[in-house]
Structure 1
């Protein structure tokens, strides 16, 4: 009897999108870590050779971690798609993550999200709220966030693809319509907001545990910092504890818990108008 090997499908993407001035035709430059070079030929060779010796069993585990940033001269949200799939469950986050607090800064919410509320409502009906979400995580999400869990289903996959395409097109439209910021202090503020977001994700992203089990702690840390959330060393010099001092342990290390402050929200904390309805939250 031939032995069986389980293969994992790990799909990880991190793309930085640059846009030129709106005064001329937008020119988009996508930066990917490997450039035009691809390791697909290496993988296909390894799989083909392995099949000569043993039986390969596909793994149901898949990950999509896809984030797209505009240059800090444009204060648009960050496109974010984090999908995790196993044989029994799908854990989904799809959002246009706000650069600035949409609960306190109503002007930012009105500028970028009010027109998108119908889109969020459309998919919130198809994808119910996925359970507890802490106030610490909530500060990085918008009123149109899709946070959901569901068992494998082709209908749900089709609906998720539809949501992904509509959200991404909506994000691109925001880019097309966004004026370029010329105020240096505003550009710096946007850059700091992007860096704070990357710092949080690089340290507290819920997919870290999965990556550690798949490829080990050292490689997982390198993948997260230098690929998935590339830009940590370019956009700013602050560390995680500079932004989030509440996570500092007595010995100066970072508390590894996912959440240590605030309340959890079992249900969607925004109403049909995109207004925040959560109580006693500190952002």
Structure 2
């Protein structure tokens, strides 16, 4: 497939325009050196956008255009800590032959344990997932650690790249983002200060995991160098990891501690993963993990 005919720019344009229809978006200040970049070898361009809104702490987008080699789209929107609604997440990696897709409303709290959170936010969205299930079947193993950050409506898929599939993905992205915006509009701030603290810590835990274990980090290091890649990860992609809380990765995940005090580089310590979809059509967690 010729990637020159494929673009994720229209995904961002839709998301920004649709959000502006529903709330007031304001540009979010971030470092000028992260706005528009060329890769070290000059073969890829990186484009970023960053916004905030009354109920949205951070809405941001990263597109990497690697000419004929690859296209990357990393889009997320994070709620204010006074709200417990999910995080919107779209991570797409495309080459001429393969596309890897994660599209989800990432839960702020672990839905493998908290059924009340499923009932509050996901039960009514199961038809949305079912609309695209046949187009985007489960994409093989997900580690048990990573699964805690996914919801029953997650699209996790690997498939042969094609323009037809890209258009279907665009339709899914639009539907999922519009559903997230409805959830955002309906979200009500919690009056309980303890719940606000709990929401803030949950978001910080999520950011801490992604900042340390996100599989896209090696690509950023190769394109930008280690220092700039770290800045991109901590001050843009997962901004808040250094401000929403003081706990470290090892405070949240002590099982990753090595004898020398460093963080184990493995993405899974448990060594267990889910090779088939661990939720049924109603959104109930059924497990079925495989070592």
Quote the residue 2:28 is aligned against: 31
CA distance in 2, matches of 1:114, 1:189: 23
Instruction: Check if 1:204 corresponds to 2:201.
Output: no
TM-score normalised by the chain length of structure 1: 0.81
Q: How does 1:197-276 map to 2 (within 5 A)?
A: 197-276=206-285
Instruction: Check if 1:119 corresponds to 2:115.
Output: no
CA distance in 1, matches of 2:137, 2:193: 41
Quote the residue 1:64 is aligned against: 73
Quote the residue 1:141 is aligned against: 150
Q: Structure 2: which 5+ residue stretches go unaligned?
A: 1-6, 17-21, 44-65
> What is the deviation of 1:101?
1.1
Report the CA distance shift for 1:111/1:98 in structure 2 as closer, same or farther (over 3 A).
Answer: same
Quote the residue 1:171 is aligned against: 180
SS at match of 2:102: strand
Quote the residue 2:111 is aligned against: 102
CA distance in 1, matches of 2:91, 2:215: 10
Q: Is the 8 A contact 2:274 2:289 kept in 1?
A: no
Q: Is the 8 A contact 1:195 1:235 kept in 2?
A: yes
CA distance in 2, matches of 1:280, 1:59: 37
> What is the deviation of 1:240?
0.3
> What is the deviation of 1:59?
3.4
CA distance in 1, matches of 2:264, 2:270: 12
Q: Is the 8 A contact 1:67 1:81 kept in 2?
A: yes
Cα RMSD after superposing both structures? 2.8
> What is the deviation of 1:260?
1.3
Report the CA distance shift for 1:117/1:267 in structure 2 as closer, same or farther (over 3 A).
Answer: same
Q: Is the 8 A contact 1:135 1:264 kept in 2?
A: yes
Instruction: Check if 1:195 corresponds to 2:204.
Output: yes
